[in-house]
Structure 1
Amino acid sequence: MTRAPIRVALTGARGGFGRTFLSQLRSIDRMTATQLIDPDVDGVRTLIADLGGLPDAEPIPGHDDVRWDEIDVLVEASGRVEAGYRYAAEAIERGIHVVMVSKEIESVAGVSLSRAARAQGVGYLPGDGDQPANLLRLLDWVERVGLEVVALGKSGEYDLVFDPATGVLEQQGERIEASALTDHLFLGDNIDKTLAARASVVAPLKRAAAADSCEMAVVSLYAGATADTERMHYPVARPSELADIYARRADGGIIGTDRTVDVFSALRLPGETSFAGGVFAIVTTGDPETWDLLAGKGHIVSRSGRYACIYWPYHFMGVETPLTIDALVEGTSTFAEPRHHTVLAARAARALAAGETFEVRGHHHEIDGVAPVIIDRADAVTDADDTLAAAYYLLSGARLVRDIAEGELIRLADLAGVADDVRTAFVEGVRL
């Protein structure tokens, strides 16, 4: 039983998520930040000072210094698979609720951690404020009112902003000449042709990120959705076009499998509202008069009238996460228990040599030479554990024991140096 206020410990406290979360907690009397776990203790102290002080917060350098009996809820946001898994696993073992913000850990061990939490009688949920939990909440709303879902997903983290006056396209400070986009600002009659033309123009920009694939793989765990194609479609799309683009192929869209997860690159003009990395669901409509009425009120309905887009153009990071803490403590979550309907696996993007060691790098947690792919569970699971497809983030710190050809799927038997506890958690989860 938790006390009032709820005592919240946070790993990865020094990160951007930590800042947004801790800032918000200052306005919420029913919960308080206590142990802020991060190797950068001085950075955490600076953060506390920047926020004007957090009366109950104490910087904690690492696992050995945690006082577990003084925690009601652990928010895991380290983003480091081995360390974060161990924080979450120990918290659950000690009867502490866990909010999982580290999508990398969720994609590898979320099924196992959730199962352990149920056995201990505590809660385990992905954190509101990041796209997986937000999309799952949107999906819950959509399906509770009886709408049929064709596709669901999010926009990429950064918009493509095109200025027709200059012909310049900008994405997160990077600019390219893209005057050819002027001829493709509207879908026209042939959606595939328009999307191909846009993709060609923006090809110099990196739009896909491992973080996107990871987030959609997490959604798959809870929603049972799969990917239409293992790297996802990534159409360059204006938000007003989503109901047309994500229609079924038979109706001129790009979707071949219902309830598919996907990501789009949001295209907008200067001054237009951003999609802000938000989330969407594409549904079939039904009664034409109802949807004509809704279209007239500004809702996104396809030109055919057969599909509509329901969306939330936001994800506010830690600002929203107190909602997850409330759901855990009060036991009000409606999320399904996670299962591996798919696996976020790793496919060699180039020829890889035995002895190569993998490292997760950068803001979007990429692994050089390896592409994240969302594959069906049936394509990942084999009779022997060693020949299972390796989860993408199990590669972190691992070493290849044989040469891998470009395009080949990496399997557990191909890796040395994978932490035994995390490996076991993945294998147990994917075999459930």
Structure 2
Amino acid sequence: MVIFHALREAEQRRRPIRVAVLGTGYMGRGIAAQMLGRMPGLRAALLVNRTVGKAVAAYALAGVDPEAVVVSDDPRVLGQAIAEGRPAATGDFDAAGAVEGVDAVIEATGDVTVGAREALRWIGRRVPYVSMNAETDATVGCLLQHRARQAAVVYTTADGDQPGVLMRLVDYVRTIGFEVVAAVSCKGFLDVRATPDSVRPFAERMLQAPAKICSFADGTKMNIEQAVLANATGLVPDVRGMHGIATDLGHALEDFRARGVLDRGGVVEYTLSGDFGGGVFVIGRSDAPALTQQYLEVFKLGTGPDYLFYRPYHLCHFEAPLSAAEAVLFGVPTAAPLDAPVAEVVALAKRALRAGERLDGIGGYTVYGQIDRAEAVWQQGLLPVGLAAGARVRRDVPADRPLALDDVELDEEALPVRLWREQRHLFAPRRSVVAASSR
């Protein structure tokens, strides 16, 4: 890998890339651990968490003496620690945002508001920004990428999670001459009625927040991640929520053909159950089937013209720092919106909702999310799931019905709402163009 040699050179020159990690929950502390002695040329220089003790604990998990961590809310003190190569931590995001000496940021809070706020802050400072926050990316990522282009700085979705891993696979398949007809996430099960209570025992065993696990179980997270991929590739969902094809690795091509999905052009999709584990795959189509078949049949990929390119894993925090390295060393994103949104994730009622209720948002008791084409979302005036938290329901809404913007009262002063409306205004004239021009 070119990146390995570049990072090894940075390590040998004793000039590692100094990274601030925002959020030291389950994913953030893993990301930090990777950059504390496990990857050459990268150093977790500043850890930021509202409960600063969790940031210190993240250092300790990686073998750093907690007594050696410089804990402060003074940007000058934190900057001096970074300059001297000492580990630094703070519970003050504003203080962190004023620190000098940070070469890149990886944000892993999973909070739409925090993600948007921090992206704006660091983009404004022209510091490469890596988002492991698909919730923010799917909601206002196109606007954030617009701002990043204006500032001539990298804004990117992180490697390691499904959008980044699939983006690399899409790039690979396109580069070797295939048309991407489907980019597929693999899901083991789906329960749109899941709640934080129903998943709590599993969440506790996995040491994760019930709301986070709930967003996995009810499909919202997967739909969000596929929307992020859609906006970075121009691929679109065939139908709202995608089809969710029950299949396995040996029958995937056959089953996708039978459902007609491969006739639609470039789509994002997912499988349900099967033997895919934590894998993802891309289906590529050859425009020279006779020529391609004589080689790929020998190489055990089948007779074509459609071929399945499968990666059996995604490694989250192990791979996320690679995006920071590429952003700093090469000035390139792993995955970033092309331009206008081609997909959004709409909120559907998880149960019957009554007028006057407050929605609790992603991973909660009231709504789940499904991907749809941005054109349809905007024409129908539907509520993005990333804006749902805190909205008040104006009228009764039956279970499984998409919520319209008119069904709720939004806090118009909330940052995600303001940014989403700005994004909609910015891209409205050309919102249907990108998908057709990017396949």
- 1:279 aligned partner: 280
* TM-superposed deviation, 1:290: 3.9
**AA of the residue aligned to 2:219:** A
Compared CA separation, residues 69 and 398, structure 1 to 2 (3 A): farther
Give the gaps of 5 or more residues in structure 2: 1-9, 66-84, 191-200, 204-215, 428-439
Counterpart Cα distance in 2 of 1:73 and 1:334:
14
Compared CA separation, residues 127 and 19, structure 1 to 2 (3 A): same
Matched, 1:261 2:268: yes
Matched, 1:396 2:389: yes
After the TM superposition, which residues 308-319 of structure 1 pair with which residues of structure 2 at under 5 Å, given as runs?
A: 308-319=307-318
Counterpart Cα distance in 2 of 1:253 and 1:388:
29
Question: Are 1:9 and 1:73, in contact at CA under 8 Å, matched by a contact in 2?
Answer: yes
After the TM superposition, which residues 156-305 of structure 1 pair with which residues of structure 2 at under 5 Å, given as runs?
A: 156=187, 209-247=219-257, 249=258, 253-268=260-275, 275-285=276-286, 286-288=288-290, 290-291=292-293, 293-299=295-301, 301=302, 305=304
Question: Are 1:92 and 1:116, in contact at CA under 8 Å, matched by a contact in 2?
Answer: yes
- 1:331 aligned partner: 331
Counterpart Cα distance in 2 of 1:322 and 1:38:
18
* TM-superposed deviation, 1:338: 4.2
Deviations 1:221-279 (A, max 9, x none): 111111122122222221122221222x5xx65445221111112423xxxxxx33222
Counterpart Cα distance in 1 of 2:174 and 2:307:
14
* TM-superposed deviation, 1:390: 2.0
TM-score normalized by structure 1? 0.77
Paired residue secondary structure (1:371)? strand
Counterpart Cα distance in 2 of 1:398 and 1:254:
35
Counterpart Cα distance in 1 of 2:89 and 2:49:
7
* TM-superposed deviation, 1:6: 1.9
* TM-superposed deviation, 1:403: 2.6
Question: Are 1:149 and 1:281, in contact at CA under 8 Å, matched by a contact in 2?
Answer: yes
- 1:102 aligned partner: 133
Counterpart Cα distance in 2 of 1:140 and 1:377:
23
Counterpart Cα distance in 1 of 2:167 and 2:101:
31
Deviations 1:340-394 (A, max 9, x none): 111111122433112212224xxxx523232312122221225xxxx84221111
* TM-superposed deviation, 1:4: 3.1
Paired residue secondary structure (1:243)? helix
- 2:319 aligned partner: 320
- 2:404 aligned partner: 411
Counterpart Cα distance in 1 of 2:202 and 2:130:
33
Give the gaps of 5 or more residues in structure 1: 160-171, 175-205, 269-274
* TM-superposed deviation, 1:24: 4.3
Matched, 1:373 2:370: yes
Counterpart Cα distance in 2 of 1:328 and 1:6:
10
Question: Are 1:7 and 1:71, in contact at CA under 8 Å, matched by a contact in 2?
Answer: yes
- 2:165 aligned partner: 134
- 2:198 aligned partner: none
Question: Are 1:401 and 1:416, in contact at CA under 8 Å, matched by a contact in 2?
Answer: no
Compared CA separation, residues 62 and 318, structure 1 to 2 (3 A): same
Question: Are 2:105 and 2:324, in contact at CA under 8 Å, matched by a contact in 1?
Answer: no
Question: Are 1:395 and 1:418, in contact at CA under 8 Å, matched by a contact in 2?
Answer: no
Percent identity at matched positions?
A: 25
Counterpart Cα distance in 1 of 2:217 and 2:298:
33
The structure with the largest strand share of the pair is 1
Question: Are 2:36 and 2:62, in contact at CA under 8 Å, matched by a contact in 1?
Answer: no
Counterpart Cα distance in 1 of 2:202 and 2:171:
36
Counterpart Cα distance in 2 of 1:36 and 1:173:
28
Tell me which of 142, 149, 165 is aligned to 2:180. Answer: 149
* TM-superposed deviation, 1:209: 1.7
Question: Are 2:29 and 2:58, in contact at CA under 8 Å, matched by a contact in 1?
Answer: no
Counterpart Cα distance in 2 of 1:71 and 1:415:
39
The structure with the largest helix share of the pair is 2
> How many pairs were matched up?
368
* TM-superposed deviation, 1:317: 0.7
**AA of the residue aligned to 1:265:** L
- 1:56 aligned partner: 86
Question: Are 2:27 and 2:108, in contact at CA under 8 Å, matched by a contact in 1?
Answer: no
Matched, 1:26 2:32: no
Deviations 1:46-69 (A, max 9, x none): 221121118633222132331432
Compared CA separation, residues 358 and 207, structure 1 to 2 (3 A): closer
* TM-superposed deviation, 1:292: 5.5
Give the aligned CA root-mean-square deviation in angstroms: 2.9
Counterpart Cα distance in 1 of 2:277 and 2:178:
25
Select between 231-240 and 404-413 the one with higher mean Cα deviation.
404-413
Deviations 1:137-157 (A, max 9, x none): 111111122212221111126
- 1:120 aligned partner: 151
Paired residue secondary structure (2:39)? coil
Deviations 1:82-102 (A, max 9, x none): 122111111111221110110
* TM-superposed deviation, 1:7: 1.8
